[in-house]
Structure 1
């Protein structure tokens, strides 16, 4: 498996990609199709594309996506993931990355959207984070072990963490890396 460089592109003012995502992205097929869900300013899309994955960055913010679509290895989709239809029906990815975003009705879609052996890397805030800042609304905070409960029956869990973390900022986070058990036929 090729080694990907975590510092391939300048990241000033763009946000440094999550070490969790960088670490487990190594499991995604080299050069494969990766979905960066609710990508925001594209810190993960930029890093993935710079490391030669083909990235589809989706977000509702057209301005953020306009800058990303100028970069090699990135295609963009403008979609309101909470109110529009799922834009990837019938499409499968070698990897899906989700960071700091939660819309529970999409979780089953992520499972369906992975190729056989596809890798899901997900991290977001959980109960307890309200002590440190936003989000505070329970609709946007995972419950204890929620990612395990949702994904374990359908995916092989490679790594899982939950708890209070100090880096890059104090927060209560839940993280999972899991691989699809699907048999594409």
Structure 2
């Protein structure tokens, strides 16, 4: 029997690390729903200027003590259909990273935050994950190929995977989409 997914890993995602060489030293990265900051810390140590955003103040504690990390306490889901709710201008970051988070009302704005020539890195749960635990509600699970469909007009796909995965470090299983795209227009 598969174990349920744990989200408290302090190690960066294998998918993210595998493709991290694409991110330039000195570039800017927005880590959305950063949690404990495992990716923010990883990229900051590589010389990337990271803005780590989360709505939980406990998650952000200690992150600013790292060089190259600026934290922002924000709830990006509040009144998400209002233009005032999305705090980042279009094309304001070289890279936008999202891991284990989905809020569709802001997905288009989030994607638009990536600069031309920059990257969108997205890893989160998809349909089929409900058998392994949370998230299990459809509004928090991507549909098959959803990230490909959402980015088709503006991005070139550099890496894409979806389906059942077993984390070799923890033994946990999940059903996820892994997306890495470069913005062309």
Q: Which has the higher contact order (CA 8 A, sep 6+)?
A: 2
Contact 2:90-2:115 at 8 Å conserved across structures: no
Matched position secondary structure for 1:179: strand
Q: Structure 2: any 5+ residue segments left out of the alignment?
A: 1-7, 80-84
Structure 1: 5+ residue stretches without partners: 1-12
Tell me how far 1:82 sits from its aligned partner: 0.5
Contact 2:91 2:116 in 1 (8 A): no
TM-score normalized with structure 1 length: 0.87
Size of the aligned set, in residue pairs, is 170
Quote the Cα distance in structure 2 between the aligned partners of 1:128 and 1:60. 27
After TM superposition, list the pairs within 5 Å mapping 1:25-36 onto structure 2: 25-36=20-31
Superposition CA RMSD, Å: 1.5
Matched, 1:171 2:174: yes
Alignment match, 1:148: 148
CA distance in 1, matches of 2:125, 2:177: 6
TM-score by length of 2: 0.87
Instruction: Name the SS for the 2:157 alignment partner.
Output: strand
Task: Report the CA distance shift for 1:55/1:104 in structure 2 as closer, same or farther (over 3 A).
Answer: same
Structure 1 residues 1-185: aligned runs within 5 Å: 15-83=10-78, 85-90=85-90, 92-168=92-168, 169-182=172-185
Q: 1:35 to 1:141 in 2, by over 3 A?
A: same
Report the 3-state secondary structure (helix = DSSP H, G, I; strand = E; otherwise coil) of the residue aligned with 1:159: strand
**Deviation beyond 3 Å, 4+ runs, structure 1:** none
1:90 shift after superposition: 4.7
